[in-house]
Amino acid sequence: MPLKYKRVLLKLSGESLMGDQSYGISPKMLKHYAQEIKGLTDIGVQVAVVIGGGNIFRGLQAGESGIERVQGDYMGMMATVINGMALQSALEGVGVFTRLISAIEMKQIAEPYIRRRATRHLEKGRVVIFSAGTGSPYFTTDSAAALRANEINADVILKGTRVDGIYSADPEKDPTATKFDTLSFAKVISEGLGVMDMTAFTLCQENDLPIVVFDIGQPENLIRITMGEQIGTLVQ
C-alpha cells in the first residue's frame, strides 16, 4: 500500500512524556514513543521529531519564580535538549539510527542545525530530533515544529496529543463537545480552536502544510495515518 505521507514531522509535547508522573520522564512513555517511531521507519517513512520541554521546565512559568522571560525561555530550550537526548537513547535502544540536532550550539551532545545536513540524514533513513526550539526566545516548540517542517519540506505535521483530534470544546471538560474530522485553516482561526500557537499556525497556513492532530497514546496510530487512514483531525 503506498504511503500518503513519506516525510513527516512529529510534534510531541513534553507533558505527554510524564505519563502518570507529575514531572520528569516516564520510561514507559519513552519506550512507547520509540516503538511508534520505529514502526514508521520500518515502512520507509522519513521522520523528524520536535519535542517540547514542559515536563521539565516551561518558559512561561518562569515569571512566577521571578526569572525573567528571556532567561526562562532559554531554560525551556535546555529542557527540550534533555528530552531529545532521552528520546535518542530510547530509539537507539530499539535499533533506530538517530541524529540529535540543537538550535543552540552544544557540540559535545548534538549537531548544530544545518538544513541540508538534516535533510540528508532523513534521506539516509535516520530519525532527526530537533531540539532547543528555534534557538530564540519568545517562540514555542510549536513554532519550531512549523519552521523545521517547512524547511525540510515535510509532507505533514503530526501533532501527538492526549485526545483523538480537535473538538468544538475541551472534551475532558465538556461531554457535549463534538469532534471534527477535517477543518480548514480559516475555520480554526474563526472559531478560535487552539491547535497550535498563532505564529506556528500561520506559518503552516501560508505554506499549505497540513496538520494532523491525533492521540499519540493509541498504538499504531502513526502508521495508520501515514498509510492514509482517517485518524484524528486533519487541518488543511
Domain assignment present for residue 139? The answer is yes
Domain span including residue 21:
7-235
- Residue that wins the pLDDT comparison between 161 and 87: 87
Closest CA to 26 of 41, 12, 40: 12
pLDDT band at 60 (very low <50, low <70, confident <90, very high): low
* Category of 118 on φ-ψ map: left (φ > 0), alpha (ψ -120 to 50) or beta: alpha
Average pLDDT of the residues in 149-166? 93
Domains: count for the chain: 1
Domain assignment present for residue 180? The answer is yes
Domain assignment present for residue 1? The answer is no
The pTM for the full model equals: 0.93
Domain assignment present for residue 123? The answer is yes
pLDDT of residue 174: 83
- Inter-axis angle of helices 198-206 and 141-151, nearest 10: 20
User: What is each CA distance from 119 to 53, 130, 149, 151, in whole angstroms?
Assistant: 24, 12, 11, 9
pLDDT of residue 205: 92
| Tens-place pLDDT, residues 98-113 | 999 999 999 999 999 9
Domain assignment present for residue 21? The answer is yes
Q: Is the pLDDT of residue 195 over 90?
A: no
Average pLDDT of the residues in 68-86? 93
* Percent of the chain residues past pLDDT 90, beyond the cut: 67
pLDDT band at 11 (very low <50, low <70, confident <90, very high): very high
Q: Is the pLDDT of residue 83 over 90?
A: yes
Return contacts of 92-100, CB within 8 angstroms, 24+ apart.
Answer: 93/34, 94/34, 94/35, 94/38, 95/38, 96/34, 96/37, 96/38, 96/41, 96/127, 97/124, 97/125, 97/126, 97/127, 98/126, 98/127, 98/128, 98/129, 99/126, 99/127, 99/128, 99/129, 100/129, 100/131
- Inter-residue contact 180 to 232 (CB < 8 Å): no
Domain assignment present for residue 2? The answer is no
Average pLDDT of the residues in 196-210? 90
67, 195, 16, 169: CA torsion to nearest 10: 110
Q: Domain of 11: which CATH number?
A: 3.40.1160.10
| Tens-place pLDDT, residues 19-56 | 888 888 999 999 999 999 999 999 999 999 999 998 88
* Percent of the chain residues past pLDDT 70, beyond the cut: 97
